[in-house]
Amino acid sequence: MIKLDKVTKLYKYKGFKHYVFKDLDLVLPTKRNIGLLGPNGAGKSTLLRLISGGETPNSGSIITDENMSFPIGMGQALLAVLSARENVKFVCRIYGKKDKEMEYIVNYVKDFAEIGDYFDQPLKTYSSGMRSRISFGLSMAFDFERYLVDETLSVGDQTFKNKAASVFKEKRAKSSTILASHSMSILKQNCEMGLFVNQGKVILFEKIDDAIDAYMKEVVNQPLRK
Amino acid sequence: MNQSSGIIVFKNVVWALLNREFKMRFEKGYLSYLFACGEVFIHVLIWWTIFSFMERRPFLDMELPIFILSGAVPWLFFSKSVLTNLTVFEGTKEFLAYKQVTIFAACVSRILVAVVLTFSGFIIGLLVFSYLGYTYFIYNPLIMFLAFFMMLFLSLGVSLIVSIPGYFFPDFTKIFPNVIRVLYFTSGVFWDISSFPPDIKPWLTWNPLLQIISLFRYSFLQAPLPGYINFYYLWIIIIVTLFLGVGIYFCMRKELISNARPRA
């Protein structure tokens, strides 16, 4: 279970305060796959980072008993001047992996990403698709109870999308996910519940279709075609 | 998370950051390692050349290069630690997306890098001067270790204190190196306090860096420690600095990390 209790999150810039969430109360059930949807800038990525523990709320608290992944995004949490190999090793060291485990994870990510010699080149030479491959492969190499995925499934070429979907399906057999995406088909394929984020409001729907419907009505301004 | 697993996570993070710091600094090849370790040695060479031209008499009955080396090592350790931690938030914020990574761990890892670099340079310097025929002996290694640990804790405290304004006020990162420059000339790095007029001496001895550098230096001498080294004063300064640093960090960390995390 993930419980957000009166969570307020804001960003300050040159004296201006931009509130993302104000006194947000939310309970997300265990072992349910939740689709996160909302327009750009609504706070989907911020919510994922708050839940992951990588970012702290300005006030309120987030309580969870689940082993949460780091947010799986476009590779922003990777260092551009280091190679993919070094970045993977860095994350392995943070998670206390020993030499053999580290070697296994490095090989797993290398095989998953299929970027050839680029694996040993600095990340600054990568395209965004290549970064996503590394970021996604890296997170899939670790076992978490809950995966927090930010858009990654909908980027890259078709081969990568298929591969990512297949690995992700395997992982979901043992764990659950919170998946942020603008692709309604990906959300429908992977999630049962829906979390709609818009203008500081966060509404949890028991069925993903209802969340998509709310999104279509409020954001896209057209009803869901079932 | 219990206390022991917290310590293990902290150790893992420091180890990961330490590896990353070395990779970042020395990705361009082995010569960078040599240059970083040789910085202490280059420092000694510069002052040695200047003093040789000035025909300066040796200080404290020590060989001149050993005298300068014994001042440069603790000084460079302190200045490197503090200056690199001045921008610790900027340098680490990518990794704050991992909940295990903390600014405190990043500060510690940067100080450990300074330890490795300056003390590798120290050993290289001692070996080179020994090869060149200069005689020296570490009569009091315990005093040397004590001076090292004092400098380590002082560096950590000062690093934590300066990292906060370093984040909130970008201009501070430009002004603070000037303070370090002033301290460099007033901390006895390349001179001994005995060479100053008696009416200035008492003022200079208030500088804890001068006392710690003298302590480190006196490990090379058989002479008793000079009267101006006051252990009570040093420990009080170190403890107050550490408390202040850790206190400011814990009070401000929420404010810092809630706004400093990268937007993924």
Residues A138 and A149 in one domain: no
Please answer yes or no on whether B16 and A94 come within 8 Å at the CB atom: yes
Residues A158 and A206 in one domain: yes
Full DSSP string of A180-220 = E-S-HHHHHHH-SEEEEEETTEEEEESSHHHHHHHHIIIII
CATH number for position A175: 3.40.50.300
Q: Are A164 and A153 in contact (CB under 8 A)?
A: yes
Residues A131 and A151 in one domain: no
Nearest C-alpha in A relative to B94: A77
Q: Closest to A54 (Cβ–Cβ): which among B13, B24, B99?
A: B99
Prediction pTM value: 0.82
Q: For every one of its 226 residues, what pLDDT tens digit does chain A have, with 9 covering 90 and above?
A: 889 999 998 887 777 888 888 999 999 998 899 999 988 888 888 898 888 887 888 889 999 888 888 877 655 677 888 889 988 998 899 888 888 999 999 999 999 888 888 999 988 898 888 888 888 888 888 888 898 888 766 666 777 778 888 888 888 888 998 988 888 888 888 889 999 998 888 999 999 999 999 988 887 775 555 4
Suggest the residue from B9, B17, B98 to mutate for an interface test with chain A (most A CBs closer than 10 A): B98
Please answer yes or no on whether B13 and A94 come within 8 Å at the CB atom: yes
* B245-262 as b/e: b if 16+ CB within 10 A: beebbeebbeebbbbbbe
ipTM score:
0.74
CA distance A223 to B23: 53
Q: Closest to B98 (Cβ–Cβ): which among A9, A58, A94?
A: A94
Only one residue has tokens 């420990």, namely B235
Domain end point (choices A143, A159, A183): A143
User: How many CB pairs below 8 Å do chains A and B form together?
Assistant: 84
Query: Which structure tokens are listed for A180?
Result: 């942020």
Nearest C-alpha in B relative to A52: B99
Residues A136 and A200 in one domain: no
Nearest C-alpha in A relative to B259: A11
Nearest C-alpha in A relative to B14: A94
Residues A94 and A48 in one domain: no
Suggest the residue from B20, B27, B92 to mutate for an interface test with chain A (most A CBs closer than 10 A): B20
Domain end point (choices A122, A143, A164): A143
Nearest by Cα to B258 from A75, A9, A48: A9
**Domain assignment of residue A138, given as a range:** 78-143
Beta-strand pair A59-64/A2-13:
antiparallel
Domain end point (choices A123, A143, A163): A143
* B138-150 as b/e: b if 16+ CB within 10 A: eebeebbebbbeb
Residues A2 and A17 in one domain: yes
Nearest by Cα to B208 from B180, B190, B228: B228
**Where are chain B's structural domains?**
3-260
Domain count, chain A: 2
Residues A33 and A46 in one domain: yes
Q: Closest to A70 (Cβ–Cβ): which among B27, B97, B263?
A: B97
**A83: Cβ contacts below 8 Å, ≥ 6 apart:** A119, A120, A121, A122, A123
Please answer yes or no on whether A49 and B9 come within 8 Å at the CB atom: no
Residues A131 and A208 in one domain: no
